[in-house]
Amino acid sequence: MEEEEEEEEEKEEEEEGRRRKRRVVHNTCLYIQRLKQENISGSVREREREMEAGKGTVKAVALIVGDNNVKGSIHFLHQSNGTTHVSGRITGLSPGLHGFHIHALGDTTNGCNSTGPHFNPLNKHHGAPADHHRHAGDLGNILAGPDGVAEISITDSQIPLSGVHSILGRAVVVHADPDDLGRGGHELSKTTGNAGARVGCGIIGLQSSV
């Protein structure tokens, strides 16, 4: 009987030891998970602080597709001074000037026609890029050469890649005609610049955040 009791006690001690080990492992896993979450949260907060301070690098890209073999790619780079540099190349355009804008919606279910109006979070009239009163999405015109190719290089302060007025998830649109920059006297001058049909567009997506 004594031997059986001793064996039973040994089994209970072994079981208790296993339970303690499981608790230690479980608590260690919870601790590691909490550290990871804190590190991730800290990294996110640090990224937000860097962006608010104008530091860090955020990149975005839009692939342009449209009518009559219009295609290209547009790259967006957040710069340390708070501006965004827009660069890229679009082919298949008719020679001449073409209105070039950020539109409010990243929706191409009905082609470029479903991208909505110009991005205009401050509810202003259409204007030129240098105007104080303009849509945030008013980027003026791009010029296509005789070969139908437009090389793009624009720096603008009203199209951030973060914050409440971020252009991420919206659309960049190229139009058939020149943008009159709100000065043409046409009934559409103060809304669209009378830039005509939408011949190409692409949704602006996050490319990297370093």
Known catalytic residue at 101: yes
Known catalytic residue at 18: no
Instruction: Single out the catalytic residue among 78, 98, 107, 118.
Output: 118
Instruction: Single out the catalytic residue among 138, 177, 179, 180.
Output: 138
Instruction: Single out the catalytic residue among 78, 103, 134, 170.
Output: 103
Instruction: Single out the catalytic residue among 78, 98, 135, 170.
Output: 135
Known catalytic residue at 78: no
Known catalytic residue at 175: yes
Known catalytic residue at 132: no
Known catalytic residue at 125: no
Known catalytic residue at 126: yes
Known catalytic residue at 103: yes
Instruction: Single out the catalytic residue among 78, 107, 175, 177.
Output: 175
Instruction: Single out the catalytic residue among 78, 134, 170, 198.
Output: 198
Instruction: Single out the catalytic residue among 78, 98, 126, 170.
Output: 126
What is the 3 state secondary structure string of the chain? CHHHHHHHHHHHHHHHHHHHHHHHHHHHHHHHHHHHHHHHHHHHHHHHHHHHCCCCCEEEEEEEEEHHHCEEEEEEEECCCCCEEEEEEEECCCCEEEEEEEECCCCCEEEECCCCCECCCCCCCCCCCCCCCCCCCEEEEEEECCCCCEEEEEEECCCCCCCCCCCCCCEEEEECCCCCCCCCCCCCCCCCCCCCCEEEEEECEEEEEC
Instruction: Single out the catalytic residue among 101, 107, 156, 170.
Output: 101
Residues with a known catalytic role: 101, 103, 118, 126, 135, 138, 175, 198
